[in-house]
Structures are given as structure tokens and as C-alpha cells.
Structure 1
Amino acid sequence: MLYLTTRLVVTPFAKAWFRATVEGVDNVPRTGGVLLASNHLSFIDSFVIPLVAPRKVAFLAKAEYFTGSGLKGALSRTWFNSMGMVPVERDDSKAAAKSLEIALEILRRGDAFGIYPEGTRSRDGRLYRGHVGVAHLALTAGVPVVPVGLIGTQKVQPIGSNKVHRERFTVRFGEPIDFAGRFEGVAQGKARRQATDEIMDAIGGLSGQRRADAYNERATN
């Protein structure tokens, strides 16, 4: 109910205010488990994609956003819940494994899950090498992957800023990639790497970013 209320009330206002161009919405399956794999330019990406996607998309979010006290904590908790965000303890030593378990549960019940294969936001605008967790999820759950290319969201909310600016940006949903039966007889590690590279190629084709032949390092400050 909370999610539906947000879609009916917040989404029309947000679309009008944000000046977004959305392409390829019909590429997102309306039912069944599906992964939306996107490049990552801004904190606001995890709100932009669910707002413009044709169905509910779950993203992971830091548990702190759900545990605050007072009015601010209540508002934060309500907002993140309304957007379909799922809390996860990111400082936990087993956070990565736990995140994959949560994602698999969401996909297996037939819902959509959003993921950033780069792992963290790009600070220089390049598209970094993808971690194989995205392929692990797709191959294990047996779901298609819809590549997503974001363009310009770093101008809406630059890294390190809490301010949201009214800038033009684009969200492009690519054609679904189905890996069913494609890696039979292929070693698990090799299959995941090949699938991940294919997903990143599709994202790069949509976003038009320069590629970086390295993994993105999470900022320490």
C-alpha cells in the first residue's frame, strides 16, 4: 500500500520536476523475476530507476536509513520503505554474501531487483569492470537481465552533495539478456565472468561511457 501510494502521488510530481528522458520501458518484463543492472553515477540512481520503471524494483540500502530516531528517522524509514528499498548491514563482514542471499530471495519470488555491477559510484564518469555477483544472481535464479544506462544523474546529485538539482538526465532500458542454457558445460567461474562482461558491454552501449579496464575502488572518505 505504501509503495502504491508513492507511485500514485510522488512519481507524477517527480517525473515532471526531474526533466527525465526515459527510453526502452517496454524492455522491462512486467512479471517474473528480473535483474535490472545499471551503471552508477549518483546516490539518486536508486530512486530514479524505481520511479521510472514500469514495476516495483528493489534496491539494497544501508540499514542506518531504517533505524534512525525521532521525526527525521521516521521520515527516512517511511521514504525508503515506500521506494521498495531493502535494509542491509554493509559493515558486516558477511555483508556481500548476505546481500546476494537477499537478492536471490527477491528474484525467486518473482520480483525485480536492481544492482550496480561496478559496486560503487563512478567518481570520474567512466564505466568500470563489473563484479561477477550480477552473473551469479542471473544464472542461479535463472532470470533475465535488463541492462540500464544512466546519463547525467551525477548532475542531479553530485557525489558528496546532499542537494538535488533540476538537471536533465536520461534513463535507457536495454533489451533483456537471457542466459538460459548458454553456459552448459562451462566452468562456473568462466561462465560468470563471460556473462558479467556481456552485461557491462550492454550497459556501456546504453550509457556511452568510456570504459575502465579495472574495478572501481570504494571511496574511503
Structure 2
Amino acid sequence: MWYWLFKFIFMGPLLQLLGRPKVEGLEYVPDSGPMILASNHLAVADSFYLPLVVHRRITFLAKAEYFTGTGIKGWFTRWFYTAAGQVPIDRTDADSAKDALAAAQRVLDAGKLLGMYPEGTRSPDGRLYKGKTGLARVALETGVPVIPVAMIGTDVVNPPGSKMWRFGRVTVKFGKPMDFTRFEGLAGNRFIERAVIDEVMYELMRLSGQEYVDLYAADVKEQVEAAEQKPPARIPTAAAG
């Protein structure tokens, strides 16, 4: 119930006013049955505008940290993500990855739409980064088609690092469903999984028009943070003569 209240009453009208969303290719999203929506990730707003324009409910795999906060803020965050139907996953180790895969399979086995961000995190600079193979593993294990989704302009409406939202124009482009059943039985083969996710990322690049970077976004963010924390070099002073 809360999902639809947020979509149509509490948040939807404001999102429509701020982003004036334009949608292309929505006919590729079926009225029923399981499907994986693979989206690029520019801003937090992606997780609001994608459900806004799709007529069916979308379940995202959300970071476990969203459900473990303390205090009033932690309680509200946990309540909001739970009410929105998000599934918490821990991504710290191999066992956690297996749990995430199992959670994704449960969503798809129930005939639902599963939203995933193959980059694993938001783009640090608006470019499209290398995809992680978790999405490929889910697609190969379940045989469910993948619909590439390009979010455009969400980083203008919701600039990364800013708490303020602005007026802009959001475009959501859906590509044709991608069928990977030709690789049936090959889940777990890292070369096949890399080929699958690279194919998905190519479609996202084509739809979004983003420049592609063959690096993981998380690694780039770590490098940027490390550089920012590095103390400035000391300039030697001339000895008094």
C-alpha cells in the first residue's frame, strides 16, 4: 500500500513537477511476468523516477546499511525502504553475494520486476562505468530477460552530493529485452558472465549516450577519496643565511 501512496500521492506529483519525465520504449516492459531492469546510475533520484514511470511495482536490492541505522533518522530510513518494498542485501563477502543472488531469485520467482544497477554504485562523474557480473549471474541462473534502462538528467534534478533538488528534464529510455538463454547452463563461468554484462553495458552506453570507462565506479571513488584525504606536500623553505 505504501508503495502506491508514495508513487501517486506523497512523492509522485512533486517528482513530475521537478523532472517532467519523458519516457521512451515503455512498451518493452511486459504487463506481467519476471523481468530484470538493468539501469545506469547517476543519482539517488534514479530509484524514484524509474518506479514513477513504470506501471508495475519494481523491487530493488538495496544496501543493508539502509536498514541498520539508529535513532530517528535510522528508523525512518529503514521504514521508508521497507515500505517501498526494497530488499536489503549485504555485499561484504562471497557468502553475502550468494545471499544477494538468492534474494534476487526469490523476487523473480514471484513473477516481479527486479531493478538492478550493474555499476554497483552511482557514477562519480556522469560517465558509464564497468558492470559487475552479479546481474549476469542472476540472468543466467533464472533465464529471465534483461531490459536495459537509461536514466538521463536525474543528476541535474538531484545533483550528487547536494541535498537540494532542482527543476530539470528527466528522460527514461527502455531498450529491447535481452535474451541470454543461449548461455543456459553456463552460470558460474566467469568468461560468459563477463560477456553477458559487457553486452548489457554496451546497450546502456548506446541508450544513454554516456562515455564508457572500463573501470569499476567504486574503485574510482576510492581513488578520488584517497587523493582528497592526502595531505598537501610541504614546500621546503630556504635556510636562513
Give the TM-score range, shorter chain: 0.7 to 0.9
Match for 1:6: what amino acid?
F
Output the aligned Cα RMSD.
2.3
TM-score by length of 2: 0.81
Instruction: Name 1:142's counterpart in structure 2.
Output: 143
After superposing the two structures, state which structure 1 stretch, 169-178 or 4-13, moved more. 4-13
Alignment of structure 1 residues 50-199 onto 2, 5 Å = 50-68=51-69, 71-90=72-91, 94-180=95-181, 182-184=182-184, 188-199=189-200
Letter in 1 for 2:138: L
For the pair 1:6 / 2:6, whether they are aligned, the reply is yes
Say whether the 8 Å CA contact 1:147–1:174 is kept in structure 2: yes
Pairwise CA distance, 1:62: 3.1
Amino acid at match of 1:195: V
Cα-to-partner distance string for 1:36-58 (whole Å, 9 max, x where unaligned):
00111112212221122221111
SS in structure 2 of the partner of residue 171 of structure 1: strand
**How far has the Cα of 1:78 moved from its partner?**
3.6
2:158/2:166 contact within 8 Å kept: yes
Residues 47 and 83 of structure 1 are in contact (CA less than 8 Å); yes or no, is this contact kept in structure 2?
no
Distance 1:163 1:61, change over 3 A: farther
1:155 partner letter: V
Structure 2 SS opposite 1:59: strand
The AA in structure 2 aligned to 1:125 is G
Equivalent residue pairs, number: 220
In structure 2, the CA distance between the partners of 1:68 and 1:186, relative to structure 1 (3 Å rule), is: closer
Cα drift, residue 64 of structure 1: 4.0
Which secondary structure does the structure 1 equivalent of 2:30 belong to? coil
TM-score (norm 1): 0.87
Please name the residue that 1:26 is paired with: 27
Q: State the SS of the aligned residue for 1:195.
A: helix
The CA distance in 2 between the partners of 1:186 and 1:131, in whole Å, is: 17
Aligned residue number for residue 40 of structure 1: 41
SS of equivalent residue, structure 2 residue 213: coil
Q: What does residue 216 of structure 2 align with?
A: 215
Question: 1:91-147 CA distances to partner (integer Å, 9 max, x unpaired)?
Answer: 577433322221111111111111111111111222112111111111111111000
Whichever residue aligns with residue 206 of structure 1, its letter is L
Q: Distance in 2 between matches of 1:196 and 1:177?
A: 11
> Which stretch has the larger CA shift, 68-77 or 153-162?
68-77
Query: What is the distance in 1 between the residues matched to 2:203 and 2:73?
Result: 39
When residues 183 and 90 of structure 1 are mapped into structure 2, their CA distance, relative to the original with a 3 A threshold, is: closer
| Distance in 2 (alpha carbons) for counterparts of 1:111 and 1:183 | 23
Preserved contact between residue 140 and residue 184 of structure 2 (Cα < 8 Å)? no
Question: Which residues of structure 2 form unaligned runs of 5+?
Answer: 226-241
Distance verdict in 2 for CA 1:35–1:186, change over 3 Å: closer
Change (3 A) 1:97 1:211: same
Larger Rg: 2
Query: Which residue does 1:206 correspond to in 2?
Result: 207
Shift of residue 89, structure 1, vs aligned partner: 3.6
List runs of 5+ in structure 1 lacking aligned partners: none
